Structures are given as structure tokens and as C-alpha cells.
Amino acid sequence: MKTKVVVHEAEEGAYSAEVPAIPGCATQGETIEDLVSNLHEAIEGYLAVEVEEPKSTGKDRIQEIAI
């Protein structure tokens, strides 16, 4: 899976980034390499969160998809 990130460079030289496709998913790093590593960790953590199974009315159907 590929996604775009918005990278911000601070005046002090550090970096921060956010993932527009995943609201609230953001991180920072002292170097670009640290930032990329932290981004992988942040995205994996965000996607690994278990969510409660949605309630069904009996007429709905639940379907899993790969992304």
C-alpha cells in the first residue's frame, strides 16, 4: 500500500509529517530517516487498532475488503 504524506521542516531542522488519508495520523523525527521510520510505525499502529464490530439490523451485510 502506498500513501502520500505531507512533510514539514521545522526551523530547528527537525521534521514532522501527517498522513492526509488517515485523519489524526502524524509524527515527527530529527532526520528524514527518523521521520520515515516513525511514519511507518504510526501508520502500522493506526491500522492495527481493533474496532468494534458494527451492529447489524438484519438487512445489512458486512463485507471485508482488502486495501
Can you spell out the DSSP letters for 19-36? -TTSTT-EEEESSHHHHH
Contact 13, 29 (CB under 8 A): no
In the beta sheet, which residues pair with residue 8? Answer: 16
For the full predicted model, state whether its pTM sits above 0.75: no
What is the average pLDDT across 62-66? 73
Please write the tens of the pLDDT for every residue from 1-46: 789 999 999 888 899 999 999 989 999 999 999 999 999 999 999 8
Residue 53 pLDDT exceeds 90: no
pLDDT at 60: 77
